C-alpha cells in the first residue's frame, strides 16, 4: 500500500468567493419578512420539537409563533416541514435547503436526509411557452428539430423536461428554463445575502459556518445552472469521464448531448434508460440487485471525485435512473463539483485513514490541509477522531446511532475551531446525498466497505511503489530539462573589479606605535622570569 507517513504537499486553500453587495436592501428586507412568515406557517422557524431546548426567555416567543402555524406546520418532521416551506419559497430557497442537507453534523442525519429529498417539483408551465422559449433560444421552429414534442414529464423550480423525438427515431429529453426564472433567482439571492449579513452581525454562533461564503457558493452554482450551454458542456464532460470508468468501478453512465438542440435556455439529451429511482416501482424491477446498486452509487461518485477530480454534484434519486442488474444513469448536470490534486489527496487519505483506523494520519492530514487551526494539538484531535470512528467502523448502519455520532462530530468541530470550507461544500453535499441513496436502497449498507476498493486503488496508484518510481522519473526528467536549459543558456561570466585599499599614513603610524608599546609591556612583565 502507499506511503502515508510523509506529509502531503497541500496547497493553500482557495480564498472564499467574493461577497456581492445587497443591491435592493428595502425589497430584500420585505422579502425576508415574507420568507419568515412562510416558515412560521410551516412551523419551521422555531420548530416545536426544539422549544424545550431554548432559553426560558425565548420559549414564550416560540409558543407565540406556534399559534400562527397552519395545517402545514402540524404534520411531519421538522426537516419535512422546512423542505415544504422551501419548495413554496422558490428556487433559491430550494437550493439553500439542498445545501443545508450537507450539514448533517449540525442538524442531525434525519433532518439532513429530509432536506436532501427536496426535488423542487412544481406545477409545469404551458407547452406553448416552452415552445416559444425553444424557438427564441435556438432560432428556429420546434418542428425543424423534433418530429414530435410531448407535454412536460417533470417540472422543477428552474426548468422542466419534455419528451421529444428526432427525425432518426431517437427519443430525447428537452430541458427548458422557466420564463422569468433569472429575475426570481436574483431577488432571492439578494435576500439571502442580507440574511447572511444579519447572521454574522447578530448571531455569533453562526459565524463559524461562514454564512456569506455559504451564500456566494449557492449563488455561483445557481448562475451556472441558468445557462443550458454550460450544463451541456458539463454533461458531455461527465459522459466522457463515466465512459472511461466502465469496467473499472464506474458503474454509471450519462446520456449523450444533442448539440443541435442546445441553447442558452434549452438543453437536449438522449432519453435515459431504466426507471427513475423516485418511482416506487424502480426498486422492484426484475433482476435488480439493490445491494450492488447501493455499492455502485458510492463507487461511481468516488471514482469520479478521486480519479478525475470532476463529479456529478447533485446525485439524489430524482437525478438517477436504474435498470437491472445494477446499472445507473445520471441526469441533470447543472452542478458539477471539482477537486484539485490537493483536495483529492485529502479526501483519499481521510477515507483510507478511517478504513485503516489510522487516526493519527487523519489528524495530521487535517492540520496539513489547514482545516484545523495550528494552535491545536495534533494528538488531541486524533484522540477525538478515534472516539468518533471506533464505534462505527465495521458495523452495519442499523447498529449505529447516527444522531449521537453526528452530535459528537459537531462538538469536535466546535472544540477545535473548524470553520466551514466553501470549496468543500459540493463535496459534502454530494457525499450526504450518495449515502442517503445507498441507505434507502439498503438500510444496512456499509459505506466503508463500498468505498474501500476505490480508495485502495487510488492509494496504490498515487502513493504506492509504482507511483514513487513514476515520481522519481519525473524528478529526474525535470532535472535533465533544467540542465539542458542551463547548457543551452550558460550563465554569462561576470567581471569582478578588485580595488587596492589605501590606508592613511597616520593610521599606520598609530597602529605601529600601539603594537610596539604592547610588545614592550609584555617584555617588561615577563622580565623577572627571564632573568
d(CA 189, CA 182): 11
CB 179 within 8 A of CB 157: no
Pairing of strands 159-165, 310-312: unpaired
User: How many C-beta neighbours within 10 Å does residue 81 have?
Assistant: 24
Rounded Cα gap, residues 225 and 223, in angstroms? 5
Residue 83 to residue 94: CA distance in whole angstroms: 8
Closest CA to 159 of 140, 142, 184, 139: 184
Q: Does residue 314 have an active-site annotation?
A: yes
SS (HEC) of 17-33: CCCCCCCCHHHHHHHHH
Q: Where are the alpha helices (DSSP H) in 12-77?
A: 25-41, 56-67
The angle, 0 to 180 degrees and rounded to 10, between the axes of the packed helices 402-415 and 109-116 is: 100
Which residues does residue 327 pair with via DSSP β-bridges, in sequence order?
323
Torsion of CA 198, 204, 208, 209, to 10 degrees: -40
Burial bucket for residue 399 (CB in 10 Å: 0-12, 13-18, 19+): exposed
Contacts of 345 by beta carbon, 8 Å cutoff, 6+ apart: 8, 10, 462
Strands 310-312 and 266-270, sheet pairing: unpaired
Q: What is the DSSP string of 459-475?
A: HHHHHSHHHHHHHHHHH
143 touches 177 (CB < 8 A): no
Taking CB atoms within 8 Å and a gap of at least 24, the contacts of 191-198 are 191/28, 191/31, 191/32, 191/35, 191/92, 192/92, 192/96, 192/218, 192/219, 193/19, 193/20, 193/21, 193/22, 193/28, 194/22, 194/25, 194/28, 194/29, 194/32, 195/32, 197/22
Can you tell me which residue has the cell 434519486?
317
Catalytic member of 105, 314, 332, 358:
314
215 contacts: CB under 8 Å, gap ≥ 6: 189, 192, 193, 195, 196
Name every residue whose Cβ is closer than 8 Å to that of residue 462 and which is 6 or more positions away in sequence.
2, 345, 348
The backbone region for 370, taken as left when phi is positive above 0, alpha when psi lies in -120 to 50, beta otherwise, is left
User: Which residues are known catalytic residues?
Assistant: 314
Amino acid at each position: 500500500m502507499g506511503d502515508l507517513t510523509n506529509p502531503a504537499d497541500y496547497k493553500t486553500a482557495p480564498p472564499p468567493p467574493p461577497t456581492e453587495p445587497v443591491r435592493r436592501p428595502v425589497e430584500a428586507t420585505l422579502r425576508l419578512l415574507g420568507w419568515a412568515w412562510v416558515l412560521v406557517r410551516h412551523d419551521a422557524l422555531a420548530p416545536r420539537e426544539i422549544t424545550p431546548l431554548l432559553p426560558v426567555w425565548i420559549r414564550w416567543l416560540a409558543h407565540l409563533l406556534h399559534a400562527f402555524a397552519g395545517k402545514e406546520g402540524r404534520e411531519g418532521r421538522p426537516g419535512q416541514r422546512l423542505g415544504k416551506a422551501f419548495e413554496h419559497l422558490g428556487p433559491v430557497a430550494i437550493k439553500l435547503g439542498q445545501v443545508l442537507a450537507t450539514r448533517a453534523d449540525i442538524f442531525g442525519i434525519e433532518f439532513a436526509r429530509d432536506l436532501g429529498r427536496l426535488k423542487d417539483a412544481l406545477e409545469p408551465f404551458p407547452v406553448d411557452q416552452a415552445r416559444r422559449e425553444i424557438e427564441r433560444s435556438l432560432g428556429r421552429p420546434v418542428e425543424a428539430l423534433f418530429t414530435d414534442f410531448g407535454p412536460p414529464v417533470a417540472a422543477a423550480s428552474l426548468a422542466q423536461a419534455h419528451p421529444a423525438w428526432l427525425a432518426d427515431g431517437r427519443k430525447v429529453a428537452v430541458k427548458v428554463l422557466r420564463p422569468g426564472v433569472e429575475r426570481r433567482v436574483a431577488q432571492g439571492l439578494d435576500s439571502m445575502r442580507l440574511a447572511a449579513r444579519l447572521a454574522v452581525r447578530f448571531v455569533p454562533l453562526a459565524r463559524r459556518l461562514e454564512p456569506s461564503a455559504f451564500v456566494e457558493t449557492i449563488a455561483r452554482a445557481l448562475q451556472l445552472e441558468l445557462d443550458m450551454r454550460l450544463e451541456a458542456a458539463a454533461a458531455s464532460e461527465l459522459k466522457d469521464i463515466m465512459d472511461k470508468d466502465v469496467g473499472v468501478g464506474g458503474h454509471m453512465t450519462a446520456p449523450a448531448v444533442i448539440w443541435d438542440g442546445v441553447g442558452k435556455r434549452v438543453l437536449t439529451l438522449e432519453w435515459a434508460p431504466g426507471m427513475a429511482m423516485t418511482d416506487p416501482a424502480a426498486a422492484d424491477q426484475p433482476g435488480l440487485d439493490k445491494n450492488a446498486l447501493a455499492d455502485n452509487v458510492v463507487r461511481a461518485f468516488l471514482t469520479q471525485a478521486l480519479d478525475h477530480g470532476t463529479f456529478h454534484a447533485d446525485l439524489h434519486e430524482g437525478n438517477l435512473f436504474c435498470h437491472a442488474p445494477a446499472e445507473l444513469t445520471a441526469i441533470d448536470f447543472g452542478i458539477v463539483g471539482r477537486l484539485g490534486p490537493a483536495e483529492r489527496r485529502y479526501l483519499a487519505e481521510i477515507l483510507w485513514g478511517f478504513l485503516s483506523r489510522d487516526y493519527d494520519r487523519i489528524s495530521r492530514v487535517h492540520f496539513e490541509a489547514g482545516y484545523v487551526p495550528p494552535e491545536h494539538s495534533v494528538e488531541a484531535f486524533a484522540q477525538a477522531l478515534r472516539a468518533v470512528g471506533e464505534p462505527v467502523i465495521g458495523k452495519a448502519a442499523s447498529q449505529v446511532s447516527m444522531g449521537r455520532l453526528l452530535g459528537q462530530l459537531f462538538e469536535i468541530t466546535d472544540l477545535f475551531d473548524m470553520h466551514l470550507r466553501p470549496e468543500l461544500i459540493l463535496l459534502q453535499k454530494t457525499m450526504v446525498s450518495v449515502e442517503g441513496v445507498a441507505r434507502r436502497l439498503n438500510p444496512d449498507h456499509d459505506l466503508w466497505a463500498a468505498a474501500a476498493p476505490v480508495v485502495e486503488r487510488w492509494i496504490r496508484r498515487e502513493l504506492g511503489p509504482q507511483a514513487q518510481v513514476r515520481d522519481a522519473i519525473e524528478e529526474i526528467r525535470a532535472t535533465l530539462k533544467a540542465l539542458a536549459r542551463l547548457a543551452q543558456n550558460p550563465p554569462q561570466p561576470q567581471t569582478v573589479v578588485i580595488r587596492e585599499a589605501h590606508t592613511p599614513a597616520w593610521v599606520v603610524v598609530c597602529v605601529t606605535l600601539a603594537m610596539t608599546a604592547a610588545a614592550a609591556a609584555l617584555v617588561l612583565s615577563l622580565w623577572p622570569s627571564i632573568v
